[in-house]
Amino acid sequence: QVQLVESGGGSVQAGGSLRLSCTTSGNIYTGACMAWFRQAPGKEREAVATAYTHGGMPYYADSVMGRFTISQDNAKNTVYLQMNSLKPEDTSMYFCAAAPPTAYSGSFCYTAQPLYNYWGHGTQVTVSS
């Protein structure tokens, strides 16, 4: 059974940093698109960053470009989201998700949520001004 477990959320002041982790267990895909999504209260869930476990280019939402970095340690089955220069508008529940290789374009992973079969339960990030 595949499980994705997020950790690393918390409360920080604007300008601060957090690193989220997503550890997977079970038989996840050989070559997978890993993604971070977020959802703020009253808003739709949106893609933040995606990366393919076997190369390619990461994707970042315009709102986090230059501040967030997605990375992975395949030996540890863990995907990270380093978040720097946090802003109050980054306050959201952050979710990790995994999609099969069919979500990989050959250069980057698509962000369409229906492509992602496995989801974590989320970790809350709160940024105060």
pLDDT at 62: 98
Q: pLDDT tens digit string along 13-44? A: 999 999 999 999 887 777 899 999 999 999 99
42 by DSSP, 3-state: which? coil
Q: What is the DSSP letter of 104?
A: B
- Structure confidence by residue, pLDDT tens digits, 72-127: 998 899 999 999 999 999 999 999 999 999 999 999 999 999 999 999 999 999 99
Buried residues in 73-102 as b, exposed as e (16+ CB within 10 A):
eeeeebbbbebeebeeebbbbbbbbbbbee
What letter does residue 95 receive in the DSSP assignment?
E
Which pLDDT belongs to residue 74? 85
